[in-house]
A and B are shown apart, each in its own frame.
Chain A
């Protein structure tokens, strides 16, 4: 289905927010002001947005250690996220979680997750809830080409089929699990989703650098899962513009590889080219969004920097509801 101008602008805006959030973090981390490990999602925006733009708060997702994009796409507050990554009291998790543990249950975002492969079983549980709650909600487990090799992913796929629950396993193949290529680590690198088919569910493939393709493939997947209540899988071929973590020297990349993926596989550039060529949006529309987003990210960074640091006494709270 062709999206309206407003829907296209909204989708582009979301992708741009993720991109600028990550590009800015890449710079800010080098100042030393941000502590800990950060894994950036730049390059994969079309996947998170192409999927989450079609979800409601009744639909739940669970993310990975590379979770900022999924969080933003699912509606987590960008200022709250930035403040969290800065470790401030105003952060979405009061500074207790950081980059790898951002969540907003009310928005249906069950958390970024520091353990590769941990999300898929939890998504099956959310799908059990969705089935019981009867609002045609689905749950989505985002996994990469790393998590696709974890036993938890296999257990979850089998259980979803056995229990007949509306769980969608999304595999974002960015071709690197940490610092190892999929050609080496994934026995079925040509098709991760094929594994899901072996578990007895329908599976789709798509170009994860093309928003319109992600969107239309997901439209089909979501219609199928909402209609049948059965699980499904989808694999998107995508690119990771930065290293595994910030500070990764990326010595494993081939000559010119990063320049090539940035010039040929940039989902934002591809989006702009396609929608302007088809006269769905004007270049000025996109430029205006770019300017708005830059200002929004600037504001988020300013807010984070000015926010109070957590009170050390708060380290003791939120372990239990009552104890």
Chain B
């Protein structure tokens, strides 16, 4: 099986699905890059190199490079999806949802409901998110909780190249709108990715480490951090379940509750803001549905209630680190040195 980076897995999925489905179109800012320049189309190959080669193969009618107009990008994607196309729109940074939130929140998410179930809007909004590359406050955020709170959207957050390909293909083939969140610090992560077509059903968490002492729940970049913490704890004789949610909407409640029933301890790790966020949401779920199984208070490992800072030292202090996760597990177990 080929080993590739997450960005390559995403690029492969887009190429394969464009080939398979003639109704699929891709649009966004610089998804081609170089339009209207001396260098010409594809002199850039997509800012994140996830859309490289699509324009050369499928042309301007299906690979649509847009002006910097996020509302019009998402609106046009929605309009095309309502009228017979399947659409992948790219938001270069998830932070830009501020510019186009109306189209996501009031339009895309609500069409089907408002119109009494008589429409479908097969749209994937790929958005690049997350901290860890010193991109500062407006290019590093993780707004998944906000989007997860919106009925009508699905929210998918792959943590590795294999999942990125399988989940993206599932998202594109889904008839509901899907927010597909790609962590910019994971684009270079390598892993085995099959060449053949496969999908991973949306809404199913995956257990990436197994153990009876505590449950660590995470998404995206935090999955790798949690696995590192679990490996360090394993060396100390502490065994943890690490659950990669893979999507926050739908949320695999059963997988979370089953694990907590076994371990009696929950550590939720999230890269989003601490208030009204995913960590609190999952803590609430477990408190209301598995309270009697808990042997210790739920631990929430999140950034502080601040914007994402720029400097390396500051950003590192902001972002949950494997050592903090490890300490949280030890606290839950009532161990010294926590």
> A-side interface residues toward B, CB under 8 Å?
60, 62, 91-97, 101, 103-105, 110-111, 113-115, 118, 120-133, 139, 151-152, 155-156, 158-159, 162-163, 317-323
Contacts and interface: CB of A to CB of B under 8 A. Distances in A.
B69 A104 contact: no
Contacts of B106: 114-115, 118
B321 to A, nearest CB: 34
A124 B116 contact: no
B71 A152 contact: yes
Contacts of B119: 103, 105
Interface of B: 25, 61, 64, 66-67, 69, 71-85, 87, 102-103, 106-107, 111-120, 151-152, 154, 174-176, 203, 250
B79 A128 contact: yes
Interface residues of chain B: helix, strand, loop or mixed (majority): mixed
Contacts of A155: 67, 69, 71-72, 75
Nearest to B153: A320
B79 A97 contact: no
A122 B69 contact: no
Contacts of A97: 114-116
B113 A115 contact: no
Contacts of B174: 322
Contacts of B82: 105, 110, 122, 125-126
A114 B25 CA distance: 28
Contact of B114 (A93, A105, A125): A93
Nearest to B76: A125
Contacts of B151: 319
Contacts of B112: 318-321
A276 B74 CA distance: 48
Top-6 shortest CB links A-B: A121-B75, A125-B79, A93-B116, A318-B117, A155-B72, A122-B79
Contacts of A130: 83
B71 A129 contact: no
Given A97-B114, A97-B115, A129-B85, A156 B75 contact: yes
Given A118-B107, A122-B107, A139-B83, 10 more contacts: A105-B82, A111-B111, A121-B75, A125-B80, A125-B87, A128-B85, A129-B80, A151-B71, A156-B75, A321-B112
Nearest to B80: A125
A159 B66 contact: yes
22 contacts: A93-B118, A94-B116, A96-B117, A97-B116, A103-B115, A121-B72, A122-B78, A124-B79, A125-B76, A128-B80, A128-B85, A129-B79, A132-B85, A151-B71, A152-B72, A155-B71, A158-B67, A159-B69, A163-B66, A318-B116, A318-B117, A319-B112
